[in-house]
Structure formats: structure tokens, C-alpha cells
């Protein structure tokens, strides 16, 4: 009979940049069960709706997670706007898409760099982050921040982007596409990467659906599920099809993210070409009274922002369901039966963000 051992994994670990603890139950070198334990960095951001006005809350929502801050801001503002029957200007809607897709690119490049570093490809890690740096520079040049931008406000966006800035962004996107193609080929074709990721952390299509996986995790298992298909914001004006892979393993989830960077470049270009002149916000009158579930697609998957207003300047309730929380149950399923040495690669394959989860 194989001897059972419980190995504590995290919250401090070289390949786990998130404060999450897992108890991995092993039989010899095989993981037979994984028990998650979170709760190391609760920040009480949802309770701040009692102290901050609904106009101030986009700043709080954006700080749920720096890597996808713009999209958190979009989700919150969209929810309040639906409650108050506010229709934002067409230019503002396309600018939200524009910055959301740039944020998706920088998030995926960040993950690709971390994943490369975790399996020993340090130069690949540096090249992925070098390309990401160009996107952060664009954020700095347009909104004055590199990570937290404060793009959205209730009623539209805070600041316009000039024609010269848009022209510069198009030029930089062409450079990014050329540079990115070189590293994408390594991720897709390198023997070592395929050996480490192919067949590792299998999540079947059925399990992905039953366990409620979202984002690249569910699309890597062959399900074309993407909140952007709801055509929120200005996505109804853009040509878009979800990236789907059928392998269900860590490699398939990586391929989805690799291809989504190309897709985001295309969506940014579409948004630029369809962006009309005009106002970027509308006046906000009255107070929110009612409730709404806002669903948008983050780099890691679908995020839900629930707001409930009571007719005052402070919301009655602000609740967020993040993609990492949705992907924790599928992660436990992936870890069952894997080799202990493969567990870091499997955990990284869902792109965990515990900062998001413990808002």
C-alpha cells in the first residue's frame, strides 16, 4: 500500500506569486487530493461602498486587481449605469473596449513571462516582459499611469485620447505584433515547453462545464464561453469569435492566451478605426436605486459585479465574483492524479489572482 503524505504548498513559493495555500495529499509522487486554503489578504474593498459614494467607487473597483484594473472599472460603471439608465457616448464605449483589450494583452504577456520563468526560460521571460513594457508605456502616455489608469467613470471615461496619440498607438501595436510573433513561436513549438505542458493538468469538457470554469481555462477545454459574446459596451460593433482549444491541458490553456494576444491587437485596431468624434461622458443626475449584475470578460475569465442602490449616494451592496474564484474548483480537479513535480505548472495554468479573489 502506497504511503500517504501531505505536502504544504504556498502561500510563499518560488513559482506561486500569489498568497494561496494548498495541502497536496500524495501517494508516493502522485497527487491524489488537493485542499485549498485562502484568506491571507482580505482587504474589505466591498465594504467601502458604505463609506465611498457611488461616484468614487470606480477607484475602489479598479484596485481589486491591478493587472485587470480597467476591466473591473468597466464592470462597476456598467452596473451603475444600467441601474440609473445612463447611456454613455459611442466614443466612450469604444475607448473602454480599447483600453480593456490593451489590458488583456499586458495581462497575458505578464502570465507568459511568469510561466516561462517557472520552467527555466529566463530570456523568454525577459522578452515577454519587454514587449509588455511597451503597453505600459502607452498607458503612461495616455492616462498617466502604468497599471492603475482610472479610465472609466460613471457616465463615460475620464480623459480623451488625441489623434496623435492614437496614431502613435497604432505604430507601437505594429512593433508589438512583430516582436510578439517571435516569442509566440517559441511557446507554441519548443520541445521542452510541450513536454512540460502537454498532457498535464487535464480538465475535460464535461468537468469544465460542471465545475463552472471560466476564461482560458474553460476555452482550453473546448467550450466557446466568453462574456464578450454578450456584446456589452461596444463589442456589438466589433468582429469577434472566442479562441477555443480542445486539449484541456496546461498547453491548451497557454495556446488560448497566446492567440488571444493577437485577437486583442485586432480588437484594438477595430476600436480605433470605428471610434467616432464626440463627447466622452454624459452628466450623471440622481442617485442609483435598484440592482444589476454586470458581466464582463477579464483576462482570466468572466467577472461579475453586483450593485444595489437604495436612492442615496452610497450603495447598499457591492459584490464581486472573480474568475480565479470560479476556477479554484476546476484547479482541484486538474491536480488530482498529477505528478507532484507538475503541480506548479498546473496551478500557474489557470493564471491565479488571489488579490482579485480576496477583495
Q: Is the pLDDT of residue 191 over 80?
A: yes
Instruction: Give the pLDDT mean for 237-253.
Output: 94
The answer to whether residue 329 scores a pLDDT higher than 90 is yes
Bridge-partner residues for 95, per DSSP?
none
**CATH assignment of 41-326+340-357, among 1.10.3720.10, 1.10.645.10, 3.30.2270.10, 2.60.40.10:** 1.10.645.10
Query: How many other C-beta atoms can be found within 10 angstroms of the C-beta atom of residue 294?
Result: 22
- Does residue 183 or residue 43 have the better pLDDT? 183
- pLDDT reported for residue 357: 85
Do residues 104 and 264 make contact, with C-beta atoms less than 8 angstroms apart?
Answer: yes
Task: Return the bridge partners of 291, or none.
Answer: 308
Distances (CA, A) of 306 to 75, 77, 79, 309: 9, 11, 7, 10
Grid cell locating 146: 502604468
Predicted pLDDT at 82: 96
Give the full edge-to-edge strand order of the sheet including 21-27: 4-9, 21-27, 30-37
What is the per-residue pLDDT for 2? Answer: 65
Please name which of 119, 63, 125 lies closest in space to residue 347, comparing C-alpha atoms.
Answer: 119
Mean pLDDT score across all residues of the chain: 92
**Residue range 248-259: mean pLDDT, rounded:** 95
- C-alpha to C-alpha distance for 55 and 321, rounded to whole angstroms: 21
Q: What share of the chain in percent tops pLDDT 90? A: 74
Q: How many CA atoms lie within 13 A of 62 on its CB side?
A: 20
**200-237 confidence digits (pLDDT tens):** 999 999 999 999 999 999 999 999 999 999 999 899 99
Q: Is the pLDDT of residue 14 over 80?
A: no
* CA gap 86, 130 in Å, rounded: 40
pLDDT in tens, 117-168: 888 889 999 999 999 999 999 999 999 888 888 899 999 999 999 999 999 9
Query: Which band of pLDDT confidence, cut at 50, 70 and 90, is reported for residue 92?
Result: very high
Q: Residue 166 in 3-state DSSP? A: helix
Indicate the DSSP class of residue 209: H
**What pLDDT, on a 0 to 100 scale, did the predictor assign at position 22?**
87
Question: Which of 159, 160, 157 has its CA nearest to residue 73?
Answer: 157
Position 234 scores a pLDDT of: 93
Determine the Cα–Cα distance for residues 125 and 123; give it in Å rounded to an integer. 5
How wide is the angle at C-alpha 141 spanned by C-alphas 166 and 73, nearest 5°?
A: 85
Question: In whole angstroms, how far apart are CA 353 and each of 117, 180, 303?
Answer: 17, 24, 12
Confidence of residue 66 (pLDDT cuts 50, 70, 90): confident
Task: Give yes or no for residue 1 having a pLDDT over 70.
Answer: no
Q: Which residue has the cell 527555466?
A: 120
Q: What is the per-residue pLDDT for 15?
A: 66
Amino acid at each position: 500500500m502506497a504511503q500517504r503524505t501531505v505536502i504544504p504548498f504556498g502561500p510563499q513559493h518560488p513559482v506561486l506569486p500569489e498568497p494561496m495555500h494548498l495541502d497536496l495529499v500524495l501517494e508516493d509522487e502522485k497527487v491524489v487530493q488537493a485542499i485549498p486554503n485562502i484568506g491571507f489578504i482580505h482587504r474589505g474593498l466591498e465594504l467601502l461602498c458604505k463609506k465611498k459614494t457611488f461616484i468614487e467607487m470606480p477607484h475602489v473597483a479598479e484596485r481589486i486587481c491591478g493587472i485587470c484594473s480597467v476591466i473591473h472599472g468597466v464592470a462597476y460603471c456598467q452596473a451603475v449605469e444600467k441601474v440609473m439608465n445612463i447611456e454613455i457616448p459611442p466614443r466612450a464605449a469604444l475607448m473602454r473596449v480599447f483600453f480593456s483589450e490593451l489590458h488583456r494583452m499586458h495581462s497575458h504577456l505578464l502570465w507568459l513571462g511568469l510561466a516561462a520563468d517557472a520552467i527555466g526560460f529566463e530570456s523568454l521571460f525577459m522578452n515577454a516582459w519587454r514587449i509588455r513594457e511597451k503597453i505600459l508605456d502607452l498607458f503612461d502616455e495616455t492616462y498617466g499611469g502604468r497599471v492603475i489608469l482610472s479610465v472609466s467613470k460613471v457616465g463615460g471615461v475620464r480623459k480623451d485620447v488625441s489623434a496623435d496619440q492614437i496614431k502613435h498607438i497604432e505604430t507601437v501595436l505594429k512593433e508589438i505584433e512583430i516582436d510578439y510573433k517571435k516569442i509566440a513561436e517559441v511557446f507554441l513549438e519548443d520541445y521542452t515547453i510541450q513536454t512540460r505542458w502537454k498532457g498535464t493538468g487535464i480538465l475535460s469538457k464535461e468537468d469544465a462545464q460542471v465545475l463552472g470554469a471560466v476564461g482560458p481555462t474553460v476555452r482550453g477545454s473546448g467550450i466557446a464561453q466568453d462574456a464578450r459574446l454578450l456584446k456589452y459596451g461596444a463589442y456589438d460593433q466589433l468582429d469577434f469569435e472566442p479562441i477555443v482549444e480542445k486539449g484541456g491541458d496546461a498547453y491548451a490553456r497557454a495556446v488560448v492566451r497566446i492567440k488571444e494576444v493577437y485577437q486583442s491587437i485586432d480588437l484594438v485596431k477595430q476600436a480605433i478605426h470605428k471610434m467616432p468624434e464626440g463627447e466622452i461622458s454624459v452628466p450623471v443626475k440622481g442617485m442609483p436605486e435598484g440592482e444589476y449584475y454586470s458581466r464582463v470578460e477579464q483576462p482570466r475569465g468572466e467577472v461579475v459585479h453586483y450593485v444595489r442602490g437604495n436612492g442615496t449616494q452610497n450603495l447598499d451592496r457591492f459584490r464581486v465574483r472573480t474568475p480565479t474564484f470560479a476556477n479554484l474548483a476546476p484547479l482541484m480537479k486538474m491536480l488530482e492524479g498529477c505528478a507532484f513535480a507538475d503541480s506548479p505548472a498546473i496551478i500557474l495554468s489557470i493564471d491565479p489572482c488571489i488579490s482579485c479573489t480576496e477583495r
